[in-house]
Amino acid sequence: AGTLFRLEVETTPPEFSLEQEVYTVNQGGTEVLLTVERTGGSAPASVTLGLANGMASLVPPFAAAVADTDYLPLTLQQSTLDFAEGEMAKQVTVTLLPKTGKNLPNKRFTATLSDPTNGAVLGPVPQATVNILADDTTKPTVKLVTPAAKVNAAVPYLLTGVAGDARGIAKVEVVLNGGPVIEAALGASVKPAAVPFSLPLALPVSGGTLIEGVNTVVVTAYDLRGNTAGVTRKFTFIRRMGRLIVNRFDHGVYFGNDPEPPQNLGVVTFKAANASALAPYWATPGSYYSDYVPGSKGVVTAKPNKGFVFARWFGSPGDSVTDLGPILEFTTREGGGMLQAEFIRNPFLPPTAGMSNIFNGVITPVNATPVENDSHGRLTGTLVPATGAFSGQIQVAGVTQKFAAFFTGLGQCYFVAGKTRPRQITVGGWTLTLYLDVDEQAIQVALTKPGGLRCEGLARRALYDGKISLPPQNLRNLGAKGFFTFATSADGPMEMSRDEMPNGFGIGTLTLDLKGNVILAGTLADGTPVTCSSALVAGNTLPVFCPLQTPGAKKGVNGGCFGGEVVLAPTEFDGDLQGEDLFWFRPAVTQLTGVTPAALATQLYTSGWPGGLSGRIFGALYDPKLTLQAMLDLLEADAEPVLRVQEGRLTDMVDVTSFSIQGNKIVKDNPADKTFDIKTTLAKGAFNGVFTPNWPSPSSKLPAFRGILIQGGSMVSGGYGFSISNAAGDLDPESSAVFFNRLND
């Protein structure tokens, strides 16, 4: 049996189409010839041609042509076009009704095909516009906006300008460097005398395109009647071969009462030689871009809006970046860069109304870092809550150094050093780094040296501003202030003997004001004066750090220090002021002979304690209105006072009891007794005097003592002080402890 084959042929239906989309007739013309073409078939078929009034427009300027006024409608016979078999085109003559005169407008109407028969369809041009152009012999205008005489730009570079004609612009042609004619794109306008045009110019791949160097461009504008005007410009083109894209990122940390994370927290600016202004970047909403010439210096700056601060950067803008915090300086590179700035709601405001903007904290060694004067210090400073700017001071290793810095919204610190913004600075041989913990409202302090040496501290925010918040009433006894007296004791490591360290008590006063600021002034048990200022932080804690002058050295040479943390908290037994684990460093010196103050300072504890003594501080609010008799608990009839001096160079304890206290008066049993003397300055809580020692070779001058009176706390009330031995010819004097209180206490 034979094989059957089926052949299927896909056919395309015939199409009716007007020959062209636009037919043009000049003013005064009497007819226009329209051509209708058939393609894709030859069988008999028909199509209908209709005319309709046109649409008026401002640009180009056209009025609507109206039937029976500007043209005659087609008759039924004219509008029905019957194509015989094999007939492929028909022409239809449309009669125009010409007008004469000046200043007539352009007019237009439309011709439209419809209702094809016998399987035919409408083709690609089912409708055409018939333009009737008014008389016009005036040349159009043309102005070239860009390029200027010198251009720094990326490619493609956009040529732009404006052309105009009262009767309408037809086209604008561009010839670059003698190359082919290219038609520019016409833009939208509401004025026929100002029609924008543009054309992208690319780098050379063939003749007549943009080149780096000198270029010549010729621009010609044509109006609808063919009148022309041209402009020629030479320009030098420098190619921008890089693009920087920048964006804002709004940090997701926000307060719970906000309905959504805040937006538009800041802006980013960019400057570079031969760079374009930042413009919206179409590919990424919210982003901006700038094109530049590689190899130039670029600067980006993050500028937060009110209530917000800069947090950090993401990405890389170019090469050789210098990080200045919210400012980045860099070298622009070929190919460009991408950068994102992050902003955050201002975290620098005090978390509680009335807290101060002052920060204060003590620095101590950690890990295996040697415990010595050089590894102890203090950081203080004031934060500007609106910006995060910080003006501070650090004391360490005998150096006091002021600095300026600022914190980002995430707590990173940048120091201000001339035109640079380093993340670290050098102080006393240490490298200082700061970080603001915005949650804890504290500044983390780190000092480092090679070899893993490290010291740390926490500078906390002061509690009181003196207006909205005040120190508690139980820490104030003089109206607006609190006045405390205190004593300190010291102890050394097990390998130190008691004659290598002071046995006496350091003494002093502490004054607290309404802002929580404190002035501490006193004298340590070796006679070294101490003074420093501080402020109360969390828990009414007082960070204390006092640089100490090196014995025998000039003023300002500080080889020792005293400090730690003191807590102001009234207690029944321990008074109103307590502190444990205080530190006290005194350097070893070369002993000098003689009796000058400098020489005497070197003879006392010449070896010092460079490895440090640990200490304790205790004290209480002091009321100068109390009598001395009441302070020392001597109101009972049989109560007797005693001045006791012990340890140091003394061979045994010395008790002075041959006196009594009546109110504020100290009355000797024998007024002529010259073996001792006791005086008081009750307004300051101080006492001083002389006594007769029992050490060998006493001096002709009785040794002096100094002390302080402490009123509060049953375990600490009384008088405490120190006395420096003055045995004849003794080049190694020592400090003795002094007590002034009730006998048998």
Q: Are residues 558 and 662 in the same domain?
A: yes
Mean predicted confidence (pLDDT) in 201-205: 74
Number of alpha carbons in the 13 Å side-chain half-sphere of residue 93: 5
Distance separating alpha carbons of residues 501 and 638, to the nearest angstrom: 37
Q: Can you name the residues that pair with 668 across neighbouring β-strands?
A: 659
pLDDT, one tens digit per residue, over 62-97 is 999 999 999 999 999 999 999 999 999 999 999 999
Asked if residue 466 belongs to a domain, the reply is no
What does the pLDDT read at residue 667? 97
Distance separating alpha carbons of residues 428 and 489, to the nearest angstrom: 29
Mean predicted confidence (pLDDT) in 658-681: 97
What does the pLDDT read at residue 613? 97
pLDDT, one tens digit per residue, over 480-516 is 799 999 999 999 998 899 999 999 999 999 999 999 9
Q: Are residues 427 and 576 in the same domain?
A: no
**192 pLDDT exceeds 80?**
yes
Query: Residues of the chain with pLDDT > 70: what percent?
Result: 96
What does the pLDDT read at residue 100? 84
Q: Are residues 30 and 70 in the same domain?
A: yes
* The two structure tokens encoding residue 215: 């270029």
**46 pLDDT exceeds 90?**
yes
Question: What CATH number did the domain enclosing 167 receive?
Answer: 2.60.40.650
Question: What CATH number did the domain enclosing 83 receive?
Answer: 2.60.40.2030
Q: Are residues 128 and 272 in the same domain?
A: no
Mean predicted confidence (pLDDT) in 271-275: 87
Q: In which band, very low, low, confident or very high, does the pLDDT at 477 lie, cut at 50, 70 and 90?
A: confident
What does the pLDDT read at residue 291? 85
Contact call for residues 160 and 147 (beta carbons, < 8 A) = no
Q: Are residues 522 and 664 in the same domain?
A: yes
Q: Are residues 112 and 195 in the same domain?
A: no
Q: In which band, very low, low, confident or very high, does the pLDDT at 573 lie, cut at 50, 70 and 90?
A: confident
Q: Are residues 115 and 153 in the same domain?
A: no
Asked if residue 458 belongs to a domain, the reply is no
Q: Are residues 575 and 712 in the same domain?
A: yes
Give which of 121, 41, 34 is closest to 85, Cα–Cα. Answer: 41
Contact call for residues 349 and 258 (beta carbons, < 8 A) = no
What does the pLDDT read at residue 251? 45
The DSSP letter of residue 364 is E
Distance separating alpha carbons of residues 495 and 491, to the nearest angstrom: 11
**47 pLDDT exceeds 90?**
yes
Q: Which of 345, 374, 389 is the last residue of a domain?
A: 345
Number of structural domains (the chain) is 5
pLDDT, one tens digit per residue, over 433-471 is 999 998 888 999 999 999 999 999 999 999 999 888 889
What does the pLDDT read at residue 572? 80
Contact call for residues 147 and 237 (beta carbons, < 8 A) = yes
Mean pLDDT, the chain, whole residue set: 91
**671 pLDDT exceeds 90?**
yes
Q: In which band, very low, low, confident or very high, does the pLDDT at 248 lie, cut at 50, 70 and 90?
A: low
What does the pLDDT read at residue 462? 95
**566 pLDDT exceeds 50?**
yes
CB atoms under 10 Å from CB of 203, counted, come to 13
Asked if residue 711 belongs to a domain, the reply is yes
Weakest mean pLDDT among 124-138, 372-386, 464-478, 584-598: 464-478
Burial of 482 (0-12, 13-18, 19+ CB in 10 A): buried
Distance separating alpha carbons of residues 743 and 67, to the nearest angstrom: 132
Asked if residue 301 belongs to a domain, the reply is yes
Asked if residue 275 belongs to a domain, the reply is yes
What does the pLDDT read at residue 320? 94
Asked if residue 2 belongs to a domain, the reply is no
Q: Which of 345, 380, 405 is the last residue of a domain?
A: 345
Asked if residue 157 belongs to a domain, the reply is yes
Between 687 and 261, the more confident residue is 687
pLDDT, one tens digit per residue, over 321-351 is 999 999 999 999 988 889 999 999 899 999 8
What does the pLDDT read at residue 257? 39
Mean predicted confidence (pLDDT) in 648-654: 96
Contact call for residues 490 and 584 (beta carbons, < 8 A) = yes
Mean predicted confidence (pLDDT) in 181-208: 87
**265 pLDDT exceeds 90?**
no
Between 206 and 218, the more confident residue is 218
Q: Are residues 415 and 489 in the same domain?
A: no
DSSP of 8-55? -------EEEES-SEEEEETT--EEEEEEEEES--S-EEEEEEEEE--
The dihedral of CA 77, 82, 87, 91: what is its sign?
positive
Q: In which band, very low, low, confident or very high, does the pLDDT at 254 lie, cut at 50, 70 and 90?
A: very low
Asked if residue 252 belongs to a domain, the reply is yes
Q: Are residues 573 and 611 in the same domain?
A: yes
Q: Which of 91, 114, 133 is the last residue of a domain?
A: 133
Q: Are residues 153 and 78 in the same domain?
A: no
**669 pLDDT exceeds 80?**
yes
Q: Are residues 495 and 550 in the same domain?
A: yes
Distance separating alpha carbons of residues 509 and 522, to the nearest angstrom: 6
Q: In which band, very low, low, confident or very high, does the pLDDT at 362 lie, cut at 50, 70 and 90?
A: very high
User: For residue 398, what are the domain limits?
Assistant: 358-446
**256 pLDDT exceeds 50?**
no
What does the pLDDT read at residue 259? 39
